[in-house]
Structure 1
Amino acid sequence: MLQSFYTAITGLNGNQQWLNVISDNIANVNTIGFKSERVTFEDLIAHSLTTFANNTPKNTEIGGGSFIALTTKDFSQGSFMNTNSPTDLALDGEGFFMVKDNQGTVYYTRAGQFRLNADGDLVNVDGMKLQGWTLDDKGNIIGALDKINVPYAINPTITTKISLVEPTNLDSRSNVISATFDPTDSTTFNYVNSMTVYDSLGNPHTLSFYFQKTNESSTGSTWKVYVYMDNDLTTQVGSSTLNFDTNGNLTSGSPFTLSLTLTNGATSPQSITVDVSKIKQVASDFIFYANQDGFAKGDLIGVAVAEDGIIKGMYSNGNVKNIARLAVATFKDKEMLVRKGNNLYLPNTQTFTPIITPGGILSKVRSGFLELSNVDISREFINLITAQRAYQANARVITTDDQILQEAMNIKR
């Protein structure tokens, strides 16, 4: 008779623990990136005996109640909340963000509330540093996995190369000019256009490109290019001859070098290579479109994160720089992850190696969004009622057992 008391107690204990899990899920309904837990019950055996009669087994099995064998996490996708903060991130799909504390421990999380600290590091609400890879100027990953640092300022870069690219065009319908070129006389050239370049201190300088058509024949056309700096029309800093075939394709004249002499304390002289290989000469209006590789000092004015996890810094000099690409980790068996509080997980063995990929491969990175808790309130309320009734039923078993035991005691009387 006493066995039924202990059997009912296991039911009380198990359902009490289930209520604890349910209450934890409900309490975290507004926790960013929270993943709900569910319980798994298993039965206990108090007595099991098998006998045989006429070679037929006869089983006598009396259960000893139930217990919670384990809790499992529901890693299904939570809905997104728009925050309009570019450093708030959500993973649309598989994986976890990787963050590292000051002791070097790497944690895994779905909570993407990040910000820039005073050093330019991307950190979560607990100051742990978001992990990723640094990118070079061409967007290639360099170095090992490490913290993501966005510089608050970038130093000036001297201009070393100018590229005249498509759709740059010299109008083939232009008249040939036989007069000697004079930058002060507009009748001695066909076109002029200007662009800005930078010295080693980041000072801007204006280069003016003058184009003069000097010849046209059955085999093609010839143009002269003259370059002046900072409206100083007395000192030519470079020149070149451009030859085009009858199809308007450049046949000679690229590249050429500009030699600049600066008097403002910057590196002197400064040489700039001008690549004109993309210039065309067709019957269309004159177009001047040039790129150059220099810029002035820039201060950070904004951060953007692309779907592939590339973090860009936007600077006051107009430069948009690829800074880093964040890392996304996943595990073959996510039940190996153990909750450590503060929305953080760790594998239950330090030798359990995650699968680490750049953002955008396992999942897309949503900038300006946060992933909400995936707790289903309606389901939790149903579980709450079920757990409550199960607890009450087990308590009633104990009450009934007590009444039966009392009747047994009354036999003696």
Structure 2
Amino acid sequence: MLRSMYAGISGMKNFQTKLDVIGNNIANVNTTGFKKGRVTFQEMMSQTMTGAQGPVVNNNTQVLGGINASQVGLGSQLGTIDNIQTQGFRQTTNNPLDFAIEGDGMFVLARDLVQTVVDFEDMNISYSRAGNFYLDEDGNVVNPQGLYLIGYAVNEGTGTPPVDTVDYGLVTPINIPDTAQSFSVQTNGTVNYIDENGNNRIAGQVALANFSNPAGLLKDGGNLYLDSENAGFTGLVVPEQEGAASIISGSLEMSNVDLAEEFTEMITAQRGFQANTRIITTSDEILQELVNLKR
């Protein structure tokens, strides 16, 4: 069988995958905190017809030059499906529990509620850039799936977390009492509220998780990510300290999908798929001619 037919099949499969990723990007063009995907291809191994040859030397005289190898490629293969972690545009909502991260980092979400300060490593943790949060009936700040937003317990006297929590030794879910008259969130993540006596109190400070390679996080659905061996988790940080990101209350980070770019890539993938089908049909016509030789 012709090598070109199998090369065409490999190209069709890869462009199908690219169209799948593009379709997912377009479907999530308005998804809060969504990060688009990108497909890259690689060539498959090549079949060597003749090997490379160096110059021919006779009696210290070069009589023939070198010859390059002759190789036939055997098609393409999927290289990577990357998560592009660029900043999405910010949409103003004026809802104080809508948080947008301006810079690098992820919100930390826990599935298990612990009312006292806990060991972070023992919690069932997910990460997200989607900052649309709510208050449950107990005053806990939760995401749409009911996961608890994690922050630092703050010293009421200094308004800052204990020193050892900066290295992530102790964190806690953020809770705003139901007796609070109002609350606000500062850009450094500090959650303030006015208690029933009119006094200003601190509910906690939102923590952010940093990763040296956020593209290595695993998507878990529902705008959630899970840590992986290649994500490079470097610990929790306090917003706006040591170059950490800021938290903008009353705003949401939207998807970083660019529709113009996606439609262009979709056209490229469609034409690439069509071109590979032509390879298969042309190869089939050649094989048909070979069969006709028998007649």
TM range (shorter): 0.7 to 0.9
> What's the CA shift for 1:134?
1.3
How is 1:168-317 mapped onto 2 (pairs within 5 angstroms)?
Answer: 299-317=179-197
Indicate the residue corresponding to 1:147 in structure 2. Answer: 173
Distance change (3 Å), C-alpha of 1:92 and 1:353: closer
> What's the CA shift for 1:51?
4.0
Task: Out of 378-387 and 116-125, give the one that drifted further.
Answer: 116-125
2: distance between equivalents of 1:403 and 1:102?
63
Indicate the residue corresponding to 1:19 in structure 2. Answer: 19
2: distance between equivalents of 1:411 and 1:349?
58
What residue identity is the alignment partner of 1:315? D
Contact 2:210 2:233 in 1 (8 A): no
Q: Which has the higher helix share?
A: 2
TM-score (norm 2): 0.86
Larger Rg: 1
2: distance between equivalents of 1:47 and 1:360?
55
Indicate the residue corresponding to 1:381 in structure 2. Answer: 263
> What's the CA shift for 1:317?
2.3
What residue identity is the alignment partner of 1:375? V
Contact 1:87 1:303 in 2 (8 A): no
Q: 1:300 is paired with a residue of what secondary structure?
A: coil
Contact 1:90 1:112 in 2 (8 A): yes
What residue identity is the alignment partner of 2:12? L
Indicate the residue corresponding to 2:209 in structure 1. Answer: 329
> What's the CA shift for 1:120?
1.4
1: distance between equivalents of 2:21 and 2:233?
29
Q: 2:32 is paired with a residue of what secondary structure?
A: coil
Q: 2:75 is paired with a residue of what secondary structure?
A: strand
Contact 1:45 1:61 in 2 (8 A): no
Deviations 1:268-320 (A, max 9, x none): xxxxxxxxxxxxxxxxxxxxxxxxxxxxxxx2122210000000112342212
Q: 2:74 is paired with a residue of what secondary structure?
A: strand
> What's the CA shift for 1:24?
0.4
Q: Share of identical aligned residues, percent?
A: 37
> What's the CA shift for 1:140?
2.8
> What's the CA shift for 1:102?
2.7
2: distance between equivalents of 1:351 and 1:334?
6
1:59 has 2:69 as partner? yes
What residue identity is the alignment partner of 1:135? V
Q: 1:404 is paired with a residue of what secondary structure?
A: helix
What residue identity is the alignment partner of 1:14? N
Q: 1:403 is paired with a residue of what secondary structure?
A: helix
Indicate the residue corresponding to 1:266 in structure 2. Answer: none
What residue identity is the alignment partner of 1:129? Y
Q: 1:311 is paired with a residue of what secondary structure?
A: strand
1:348 has 2:228 as partner? yes
2: distance between equivalents of 1:84 and 1:333?
32
Task: Out of 47-56 and 396-405, give the one that drifted further.
Answer: 47-56
TM-score (norm 1): 0.62
5+ unaligned residues in a row in structure 1: which ranges?
A: 153-298
Question: Match for 1:106 among 111, 125, 128?
Answer: 125
Contact 2:42 2:78 in 1 (8 A): yes
